[in-house]
Amino acid sequence: MQFVAQSRAPKLSYADRMSPARLQSAPLAGSADDTEAAFYDAMLHANVDAMMACWADEDEIVCIHPDGPRLVGAGAIRAAYEALFAAGAVRVLPQRVRKIETLTCAVHSVVERIEVLTDSGLRAAEVVATNVYVKTAQGWRIVTHHASADRLGGGRDHEPAGGPQTLH
């Protein structure tokens, strides 16, 4: 069996990561909700700088798009969004957000409704995503965005009869 090493996209320099435009593009205060709104707004406007301003300044940030590879680091994530935005803006509407929040971490489970205008008209699909935020010195920032196709759920939440239950 032969293993092939995968190359990682180049890391952004400290100066690029800490540029005033990057740090000022997303809310510096506020909440994880504010950063999430800025994240989806950046998609709507195909603004990669505003998108990257939502991400934490950490080497191990992770982004996984539906059926895509695990992208690790700001360079790989930026390259993926630049490729995505090359075709234009992406209308992604977060719906049915479920949240778990602490003083320094927030996890949002969302159903993303993705709308694309094609030659045959408006097409829509639903994707389930998890967005993980941490509170940094610059404010709330994304450390993980993991989106998967909703092949079986049809965008519905599945809960036992009687509502949520404790596992342990």
What single-letter DSSP state applies at residue 103? Answer: S
CATH 2.30.42.10 fits 17-149, yes or no: no
pLDDT of residue 17: 46
Instruction: State the chain's mean pLDDT as an integer.
Output: 81
Picking from 91-95, 102-106, 140-144, 152-156, which range would have the lowest pLDDT averaged per residue? 152-156
The answer, yes or no, to whether residue 57 has pLDDT greater than 90, is yes
Handedness of CA 83, 64, 69, 152 (dihedral sign): negative
pLDDT of residue 43: 92
What single-letter DSSP state applies at residue 89? Answer: -
Residue 164 pLDDT class (50, 70, 90 cuts): low
Picking from 10-19, 63-72, 122-131, 158-167, which range would have the lowest pLDDT averaged per residue? 10-19
pLDDT of residue 103: 94
HSE, side-chain direction, 13 A CA sphere, residue 50 = 17
Sequence ranges of the domains in the chain: 17-149
CB < 8 Å & 24+ apart, contacts of 124-132? 125/149, 126/150, 126/154, 126/155, 127/66, 128/153, 129/94, 131/36, 131/39, 131/107, 132/105, 132/106, 132/107, 132/108
Cβ atoms < 10 Å from Cβ of 67: 8
Cβ contacts of 21 within 8 Å, gap of 6 or more: 49, 53
Convert 81-114 to b/e letters by CB count within 10 Å (16 or more is b): beebbeeeebebebeeeeeeeeeeebebebbbbb
Residue 5 pLDDT class (50, 70, 90 cuts): very low
pLDDT tens for residues 89-132? Answer: 889 999 999 999 999 999 999 999 998 878 888 888 899 999 99
β pairing state of 139-149 and 121-136: antiparallel
Q: Which residue has the higher pLDDT, 18 or 123?
A: 123
Q: How far apart are the first and last CA of the chain?
A: 41
HSE, side-chain direction, 13 A CA sphere, residue 6 = 7
pTM score, whole prediction: 0.76
β pairing state of 62-64 and 139-149: parallel
The answer, yes or no, to whether residue 136 has pLDDT greater than 80, is yes
pLDDT of residue 153: 61
